[in-house]
Amino acid sequence: MSDTNFDVIVVGAGPGGYVGAIRAAQLGLKTALVEANHLGGICLNWGCIPTKALLRSAEIYEHMKHASQFGLGAKEVSFDIAKIVERSRGVSKQLSGGVGHLLKKNKVTVIDGYGKLLGGGKLSVEKDGKVFTTLTSKNIIMATGARAKSFPGLEPDGKQVWTYMEALVPTEVPKSMLVIGSGAIGIEFANFYHTFGADVTVVEALDTIMPVEDEEISGMAKKSMEKRGLKFKTGTLVKKLDKAADGVTATLEKGGKTETIKVDKVITAVGVVPNVENIGLDAAGVKLDERGFVAIDGYCKTSAEGVYAIGDVAGAPCLAHKASHEAIICVEKIAGQKGVHPLDKSLIPGCTYCQPQVASVGLTEKAAKEAGYKVKVGRFPFMGNGKAIALGEPEGMVKTVFDEKTGELLGAHMVGAEVTELIQGFGVAKTLETTEEDLMHTVFPHPTLSEMMHESVLDAYGKAIHF
């Protein structure tokens, strides 16, 4: 290519990379985006979006099976896994095309290939094993993401032992399944396959499922899922997987005792590792942190002059919205925009799209106490909310944690229908440094699920009306 010098070069077109490239172009910076596989990255193509499409099918199927509770009739309810997968892939394809349109609209130069830092503001781009161009820029943003982690003896083979990628495109629903790991990915796939008839067991090394969540909330979610038929083994390690033609036998260990379980398929969902190999970090002088992620400051600068890192490659939490927000901070700082400030990770909401949904922002009750706060805690159950009962969704709870001294909202935690949509209300509240008084004086519409947010705040101060 003839024009190889840019104001900003972004490597990786995931939710961090493409957002950063678009914002840079909006700010008048000549921008290139280097991507070897697919626009939108793992999130859009093999993660956040296609899983939600699958889970939507599961949600509708579950409602159809219980149609009589709503005075409706649906005979011979069935599903077609091939069509479910086809819809999911179609959703991803549509959105990937949309990202391409946005990049073109904003005049971002998209280059198909793998980017590798050479140092001194240079980046080589290769395809099919051959370097075809070298780009230069004073600002190079690495947004190379992460991939599924594996452990010795538990490595995925794509046939009997799956990562999220194989789990997204099944040709049939296995009769039995073992899910290793109870984070968001593991729990979501466990719920999907269970809904369509698989006998699912989830194994978690720690003592609680969804261990980043408030223990009271994750405990309620676990109880609800167990009532539906999912099985959980917490405080348990998977020591080995023995594969045979008719399935996989897993050896589990808890408290020094072992047992075996035989299943058709295994999904490994034990976290991610950053894509830091073969991207020229050493050549550019980019240092990693103690966990192997690229070390950055509050404005996403690495140890190398003119090199930045955003998203999963730069560390936890490995969430799409965190990557996008880091992208904006990074690019606006490069462009010299006023008012740019580092990302406060305590303001990042987390969502798990299981049944029931789980969502949170800020400190858990336990973490707040460990941090030295004297807390006031409010709780409000879904069964006390008119809209929840009308929807046929009476299971769940909204929990709020406040600093008793100042009234600051320290954290909010939810389990139940549509809480992944509700949580942003508390996200805004925390960003605005809202106190209990502000929330109490906020008018919430009726009838809505959001009224439970208000009631939970009231409950923390002994003022709840409807429970």
pLDDT, tens only, 164-199? 999 999 999 999 999 999 999 999 999 999 999 999
Angle at CA of residue 419, ends 200 and 467, nearest 5°: 110
pLDDT, tens only, 100-133? 999 999 999 999 999 999 999 999 999 999 999 9
Contact criterion met (CB below 8 Å) for 383 and 394: yes
Q: What is the DSSP string of 132-174?
A: EEEEEES-EEE---EEE---TT----SSSEE-HHHHTS-SS--
> Domains of the chain by range and CATH?
5-148+273-345 (3.50.50.60), 161-270 (3.50.50.60), 356-460 (3.30.390.30)
Is the pLDDT at 362 greater than 70? The verdict is: yes
* C-alpha span between 192 and 58 (Å, rounded): 6
Is residue 17 marked as binding?
no
Is residue 184 marked as binding?
yes
Mean pLDDT of 331-347: 96
Q: pLDDT band for position 1 (50/70/90)?
A: low
Which pLDDT belongs to residue 31? 98
User: Smallest Cα–Cα separation from 455: which of 445, 447, 446, 465?
Assistant: 465
Return phi, psi of residue 328, to 5°: -65, -45
* C-alpha span between 345 and 347 (Å, rounded): 5
* Percent of the chain predicted with pLDDT > 70: 100
For 41, which DSSP code?
Answer: H
Which pLDDT belongs to residue 12? 97
Is residue 186 marked as binding?
yes
Is residue 57 marked as binding?
no
| Residue 292 CB coordination number (10 Å) | 10
pLDDT, tens only, 126-142? 999 999 999 999 999 99
Return phi, psi of residue 246, to 5°: -105, 15
Q: Which residues are catalytic?
A: 446
Residues 6+ apart with CB under 8 A from 380: 397, 398, 452, 455, 456, 459, 464, 466, 467
